[in-house]
Amino acid sequence: MGKGKGDSESLLKTMKRKGNLTSRRVEDAIRRIPRHKFVPEGLEEEAYSDSPLPIGYDQTVSQPSVVAKMTELLDPQKGQSILEIGTGSGWQAAILGTLVGEDGKVFTVERIEELSRMARENLASVDLDNVYVVNGDGSVGLKEHAPYDRILCTAASPRIQEDWLEQLKVGGRIVSPVGSGFVQSMVVVEKTGKGETETLRNERGYRFVKLKGEKGL
């Protein structure tokens, strides 16, 4: 499979057929961010298959249909401030940056320095200047830019972390795979008040790399 818009359109059709892509806003954002610019050299031909791809250091760029579903569950809006935990190659962060627009900001935390550098280069290639890559431990969040409207974790966490909830605005939302086993659950939590949350979704059947760090697995 070659690179290009045609392959992107085929991938979008696949995701819609699977029922993981229903939002036109998310569809347009994915179309705007070419996945082949966010995979390692030599894997560009596979960029528009609906599958995760290795990016080195035992990490992956997530399966596109899962990225689409998580983005829709997060429901990012124009002008919002978003924290992403686990930058990887930067593709998910770029999609979020497109959705929040010029008045919004995305802070994305990556613990592996080499991947942080890769993500910055990839993001520069798509002319996004509202996404900020931080090399650090996302398991404890990113306190210096809190509070956030949305928090997205792209690795399997043992739980919805208290640090994340403390850094989330009231009315804000967290989306994260949760679980320590081979298969995890996709959990969506809304902060309804100080110390109060509501679980909006808890759906089993996902596989992610494990969240590392002080409060990871």
In a domain, 215, yes or no: no
- 10 in catalytic set: no
pLDDT of residue 74: 98
In a domain, 27, yes or no: yes
In a domain, 133, yes or no: yes
In a domain, 71, yes or no: yes
The one catalytic residue among 23, 49, 62, 89: 62
The string of pLDDT tens digits covering residues 6-64 is 588 999 999 999 899 999 999 999 999 999 999 998 898 899 999 999 999 888 899 99
The string of pLDDT tens digits covering residues 153-209 is 999 999 999 999 999 999 999 999 999 888 999 999 999 998 899 999 999 999 999
Range list of H helices, the chain: 5-18, 24-32, 64-74, 91-100, 113-125, 162-166
In a domain, 213, yes or no: no
Global confidence as pTM: 0.94
> What is the C-alpha to C-alpha distance for residues 8 and 48, in angstroms, rounded to an integer?
6
In a domain, 80, yes or no: yes
In a domain, 168, yes or no: yes
In a domain, 116, yes or no: yes
pLDDT of residue 116: 97
The string of pLDDT tens digits covering residues 25-41 is 999 999 999 999 999 98
Supply the CATH number for residue 157's domain. Answer: 3.40.50.150
DSSP assignment letter at 44: G
The range of the structural domain enclosing residue 37 comes to 5-206
Number of domains in the chain: 1
